[in-house]
Amino acid sequence: MSSPAQIFDAVLAAVTPVLQQNGYKKSARNFVAQSGGVARVIRFQSNQLKKPDEASFTFNVFVTSVAFHEAYAGKPFPKSAGSAEPVVQAEIGKLNPDGEPLWWGLQPDVSVRLISAEVESLLRQRVFPFLARFDNEAALLVALESGEELPGFSAMRERCRAVLLARAGRKDEARRALSALLDANAAEGLEGFRDSVNQLAQRLGVG
């Protein structure tokens, strides 16, 4: 009888070829495509693997920028892109029309073949097209400037937009973006938040 961890690994092994065919390299339980200063990450995560009756897994996606991470964190981009600061991020369920959370059980009687087929279908239909929009810094900046409600934390997206604007030589716009971010959160009284935004502005030379 297979354990939940073995079933999970079997599912990952089954979907790895389609991920690799689409430019995603395996790193532990993350799959990363990195180009043009942007990393796109598909992260598989499990829950309760030591409890066969409760074990399950899901996956989520996120996009980050090398320049953004380094400016925001003040240190080099990590070797494992999965540990970088995300800019756009979503659970797989959020990419479906109903937006409901989506988990798969890892009980001994599940079919690895059926689960793998469902995951592969979601990758092809939802994940790859979504992430393909963010294949370089210029494309990411276009998306951040579009006004579209992208998934994730708006404050992180605005920070990233400021970084990419500054890199594009649009420092006045970067300064205004960070000022607007401070104004929008002025009522919250978050001293740490203000400090981090001001520190980012200084690193970008727009303080």
Q: Is the pLDDT of residue 166 over 80?
A: yes
Both 159 and 95 in a single domain? no
Both 98 and 169 in a single domain? no
Q: Could you report the per-residue pLDDT of 142-156, keeping only the tens digit for each?
A: 999 998 889 999 999
Both 145 and 199 in a single domain? yes
Both 99 and 32 in a single domain? yes
Both 170 and 198 in a single domain? yes
Where does a domain end: 134, 166, 187? 134
Band the pLDDT of 186: cuts 50, 70, 90. Answer: low
142: left (phi over 0), alpha (psi -120 to 50) or beta: alpha
Both 104 and 40 in a single domain? yes
Both 92 and 29 in a single domain? yes
Q: What angle do CA 154, 155, 161 make, to 5 degrees?
A: 85
Domains contained in the chain, number: 2
Both 54 and 108 in a single domain? yes
Query: How far is residue 117's CA from residue 169's CA, in Å, rounded to a whole number?
Result: 46
Beta-strand runs (E) in the chain? 25-27, 30-35, 38-47, 56-65, 88-91, 104-105
Residue 14 confidence (pLDDT):
97
Mean pLDDT of the region 11-16: 97
Residue 200 confidence (pLDDT):
94
Q: 149 lies in which domain range?
A: 138-204
Q: What is the pTM of this model?
A: 0.91
Where does a domain end: 134, 165, 191? 134
Residue 183 confidence (pLDDT):
87
How many other CB atoms are found less than 10 A from the CB of residue 56? 18
Both 123 and 35 in a single domain? yes
Q: Is the pLDDT of residue 11 over 90?
A: yes
Mean pLDDT of the region 80-100: 93
Mean pLDDT of the region 86-92: 96
CB 92 within 8 A of CB 59: yes
Both 35 and 122 in a single domain? yes
Both 36 and 104 in a single domain? yes
Please tell me the least confidently modeled range out of 84-93, 125-134, 186-195.
186-195
Both 52 and 70 in a single domain? yes
Where does a domain end: 134, 152, 178? 134
